Structure 1
Amino acid sequence: MYKSQLLKNKRIPSLCLLLLLTGCASQTFSPVSSNEISKVARLDIAQIQEKIEPLSGPLSLNEAIARAMKYNLDRRVKLMEQAIAVDQYDLGNYDLLPKVVANAGYRTRDSDLISKSRDSVTGDLSTSHPYISSDRNVTTYDLTFTWSLLDFGQSYYIAKQNADRVLIAGERRRKAMQNLVQDVSTAFWKAASAQRLKQKVKDAIQNAEDALDDARKVEAERLRPPMEALRYQRQVLENLRLLETIDHELSASKTELAALTGLPLSANFDVVEPERLISDSWLAAPMDKMETIAMANNPDFRESFYGSRIAVEETKKTMLRMFPGLTFTAAAKGTDDSYQIYKQWQEAGIQVSYNLLGLFSLPAQKKMAEDGVTLAEQRRKSVLMATLAQVHIAFLQYQHAFRQYQRADSIWSVDAKIADLFAKQEQVQKQSKMDSIANQTTAILSELRRYQALAVANASASKLRASLGMEPVVLGSADMSIQQLSVEVGKALDVWERGVPESVGGNEAEALILKEGVK
């Protein structure tokens, strides 16, 4: 009976292992159903729109930027990336603390722990009866304090690197904000052109359709020579194709703006153009001053500095491996084993360890760390030159785009006057309807090109502002209403409108990263 029970007990680990392997082998593919995807998608849309303030009136450029800052999903992703970097930094700080480990365990056996002894001189086994030295069922517990000097040094430099990674995440967030402001500005002016031209395009298309019907009737009734009638239709059709192309370009503009600002994609809203369409205060800015501003504020260049610091800390971490590990331990332990005379006791110790074989790889590790510092410094220099080149190119593009806007504005003004004169002459039957439609189409196209040039000019200004690191900075934006945030965005943009600042200092980028970064 005892043997059968022993064999049965020996089978228990094998059965447990078999059950574990069977459970692992039973895993199958579990694709997500279409209904589940649709349900989750609807919930996501509801959650996205839940906290968005509704639009109470026409959308201004300042409010569009404010809504993008508060509700744009891509920007929220950047915020979460920075929040994760902050969490990693906070978590890394705990590695600086000593380790205090609490253990508790229970041990049972199916037979007593019986031992014999052997004579150290003769080698004969003891003739006395074997001794039992432990209970079959034993509970143990201990609280152990451990502190390693080498681990503390490694954790210290890792914490410093994590702090720089938080700042890098902030600079990348600034970069995302700059790109977002550019996109919002471009989409806003597209929406403004659509609002201004939509009805004009529809009226022109209707007039062209009427003229085409008249031309086909004239051809059918042979009131004009066939070639003249066909040429007339050809010109009207060409104008129609151009107008329909314009209508297609304008149709998606408000949807693009709604997607950037967190508004419902099907929302029907109006935009209100700012009093000042484009700033000319930077056209004659001194290049040396702009280079100085960019070197102090450009997020790409600032990120390269933090990358260099991380590389230096990596070298220090490598140098720590040259030192032996020194570990201090202290523990309080206990057991309920009745064979133990002292059931509670304390232990303390100190241990020195050193990986002797690590000496062979240390020169290679040190060289790799030093090469990492050299690479980071070279990358910083490369980013510096790229940043300065970006400032020069953005400034030239801004100047060119501003001149192109002025030219497009002048052309539109002339074409609008010509179209108005032709429309009046058509009313007194001094001009044909086709000529009036052609000039009406030309005026619409000129106005569209004017708005396109205005959008390009504002995008160029935003690109120059981004190159200089002067994006709108609003502290506490997460806690503001849209109306308050719009006012603050307007104040931030006024700094740009005033032109080159007298001093480079006063940049609030670091305050934005450190104070608002995790909101």
Structure 2
Amino acid sequence: MGRKETLFRMPLAITLACSVSACSIHPAPFTESHFTLRAKNNIQRMAAYQEPISGAISLGEAMARALKYNLELRIKQEEASLAKAKLDLQHYSLLPKAVLNSGYTSRNNLQASTSLNLITNRADNSPSTSQDRQQISTDISLGWDILDFGLSYIKAQQSSDEVLISRENWRGTLHKLMEDVRTQYWRASTYERLIGRLKKLQSRTDAALANSAKRSRGYETNRLVALNSERELVKVKQAINDLEQDLINAKIELARLMNLRPGTEFSLDISRRPHNHLRINMPLDDIFLLAVSKRPELRQNEYEQRINIKESQANILNMVPSLRAYATGNQNSNSFLLNSNWVSVGAAMSWSLLNVFQYPAKRHVTRSKQQLLDMKARSLTMTVMTQVYLGLIRYDYFIDKLAMAEQLLSVQKRLTRQMRLEAKASRVSEQELILEEMNELIAEARCDIAYADLQRAYGGLLASIGIEFSPTAESDVPLDVLAKALEAGWDAALEHIHDADLIVNETRPVQG
């Protein structure tokens, strides 16, 4: 009896020991050295495997680097790859279920029993057995459930729509990225073109400011005039600092978009092509229709609605009884069996009545979600149409703003040339000349910034319409090849617009 009690208590003791050990688990934080090593690894991998900078970066190369190396866009690419991998995995759920089982059993004694004759009501006390103490069993079963197949087919269709949604997310991120690169590139090129003159003018301003401060403390000139002159020079210096800070931020932001390590030295190709004035000669309603049909957000909403419709179909299918057919091949080492190998086939049907009672609630959820998605589609339509309309207005506004900035720069250059002549003739002071040179520099910077804003409006208008203009970045495509493809992509975008009854004309030269 003691031995039986020991055998009975052993599983209980093992279970209790496992429970106690599970309760004794404590948090195990990483060490500081681990975090440091991980940080070094992240920094090294952040900009790893990138083609080095070999010269001045053109707009096409900046776009290519952003398309190929920008981490936010690569996240969207990985999300698309993950969605495709999930779809590939979902295909396996359509196949029949195949299960292989193998087991070994052993007893410390024989499984023996006595019997009772139910007719004579006499007991046969001689023990007998029909099983060996040790047995090995193996079976392989193949089953196919019609209901599971139908539900898996619907889930695979939903997964395929998820792949398309991830593609539209990538497109939206791509459009925004290219728009930002264009803007920051031209603002950063303004910094490169003007930084030398800014530094030189700042040195002259500092010298003039020191001279003005000295004069304001003396008695050889009117102190009020000297202080006013000093104040104007301080304003000039402040304007120089503000302009420099605003433009240097653009270069830092451009480096981030290209995934260059902060502090990396690089130069830009500051040459410019004349901007093509885009004129849209088609009805506004047709432009709206083109934009609403092409924008990634609305396409994504369409796929989400289709996923929800598939979900309602799955809810209906869940109410259908499940019919399962199976075939199993078995093998057992029990020596008492007459047939140790056998095949069994069968079919079974089950019906979850709870799914029938749950259907009204599930139908209400899917209908509510469909109404929500439909309302979002209408809201997105209004947003897209508004963005397109504002894009058209903004584009025309920046065309005029650039023209006015160029006109102001032309006038300011003539005024500065005249001021230099007056300064040579000693009819104006050095402070007045510096002030006009600063005004010319600011006018030139504003002209460049207006050009950058026009480029942003230009890219934003194409993006608001949803025009596809960039190829997919493959890891093995050389950077220069991708840059040329991107530059051709913008031209192709214009051709695409031209095919949609939008025309490009009136080349507007931009003054350097």
- Structure 1: give runs of 5+ residues left out of the alignment: 505-519
Q: How does 1:7-406 map to 2 (within 5 A)?
A: 7-120=5-118, 124=121, 126-273=123-270, 275-276=272-273, 278-282=275-279, 286-406=283-403
> TM-score, normalised on structure 1?
0.91
TM-superposition CA deviations, 1:140-163 (whole Å, max 9, x none) = 111011100000000111111111
Question: Residue 68 of structure 2 contacts residue 473 of structure 2 at CA under 8 Å; is this kept in 1?
Answer: no
For 1:185, give the aligned amino acid: R
Question: How many positions carry a matched residue from both structures?
Answer: 501
Counterpart-to-counterpart distance in 1, 2:296 and 2:475: 21
1:348/1:299 CA distance change after superposition, 3 Å: same
Question: Residue 105 of structure 1 contacts residue 139 of structure 1 at CA under 8 Å; is this kept in 2?
Answer: yes
Quote the offset at 1:207 in angstroms.
Answer: 0.9
Question: Residue 116 of structure 1 contacts residue 125 of structure 1 at CA under 8 Å; is this kept in 2?
Answer: no
In the alignment, does 2:490 pair up with 1:487?
no
Counterpart-to-counterpart distance in 1, 2:70 and 2:361: 47
> Which of 439, 442, 452 in structure 1 is aligned with 2:439?
442
Counterpart-to-counterpart distance in 2, 1:499 and 1:173: 20
**Identity across matched positions, percent:** 26
1:21/1:279 CA distance change after superposition, 3 Å: farther
Counterpart-to-counterpart distance in 1, 2:316 and 2:271: 59
Counterpart-to-counterpart distance in 2, 1:417 and 1:13: 99
Equivalence for 2:452: 455
For 1:306, give the aligned amino acid: Y
1:464/1:112 CA distance change after superposition, 3 Å: same
Residue aligned with 1:224, SS: coil
1:222/1:118 CA distance change after superposition, 3 Å: farther
Counterpart-to-counterpart distance in 2, 1:125 and 1:38: 82
Residue aligned with 2:143, SS: strand
Quote the offset at 1:97 in angstroms.
Answer: 0.4
Q: CA RMSD in A?
A: 2.2
1:184/1:107 CA distance change after superposition, 3 Å: same
Question: Residue 318 of structure 1 contacts residue 369 of structure 1 at CA under 8 Å; is this kept in 2?
Answer: no
Quote the offset at 1:465 in angstroms.
Answer: 1.0
1:49/1:367 CA distance change after superposition, 3 Å: closer
Q: Which has the higher strand share?
A: 2
Equivalence for 1:509: none
TM-superposition CA deviations, 1:230-270 (whole Å, max 9, x none) = 22211111211111111222233322211111233222222
Quote the offset at 1:500 in angstroms.
Answer: 2.9
For 1:295, give the aligned amino acid: V
Question: Residue 146 of structure 2 contacts residue 322 of structure 2 at CA under 8 Å; is this kept in 1?
Answer: yes
1:207/1:293 CA distance change after superposition, 3 Å: same
For 1:176, give the aligned amino acid: T
1:42/1:329 CA distance change after superposition, 3 Å: same
Residue aligned with 1:338, SS: coil
- Structure 2: give runs of 5+ residues left out of the alignment: 502-512
For 2:426, give the aligned amino acid: Q
1:424/1:301 CA distance change after superposition, 3 Å: same
Residue aligned with 1:478, SS: coil
> Which of 412, 418, 421 in structure 2 is aligned with 1:415?
412
Counterpart-to-counterpart distance in 1, 2:362 and 2:397: 52
For 2:81, give the aligned amino acid: A
Question: Residue 281 of structure 1 contacts residue 499 of structure 1 at CA under 8 Å; is this kept in 2?
Answer: no
1:236/1:371 CA distance change after superposition, 3 Å: closer
1:222/1:331 CA distance change after superposition, 3 Å: same
- With 452-461 and 145-154 compared, the bigger mean Cα shift is at 452-461
- With 495-504 and 483-492 compared, the bigger mean Cα shift is at 495-504
Quote the offset at 1:86 in angstroms.
Answer: 0.5
TM-superposition CA deviations, 1:331-364 (whole Å, max 9, x none) = 0011112232221111110111112343333333
Quote the offset at 1:431 in angstroms.
Answer: 1.1
1:388/1:174 CA distance change after superposition, 3 Å: same
For 2:35, give the aligned amino acid: I
For 1:138, give the aligned amino acid: Q
Quote the offset at 1:9 in angstroms.
Answer: 3.0
1:88/1:415 CA distance change after superposition, 3 Å: same
Q: How does 1:506-517 map to 2 (within 5 A)?
A: none
Counterpart-to-counterpart distance in 1, 2:216 and 2:110: 116
Structure 1 segments, 4+ long, off by >6 Å, are none
1:275/1:236 CA distance change after superposition, 3 Å: closer
Quote the offset at 1:476 in angstroms.
Answer: 5.9
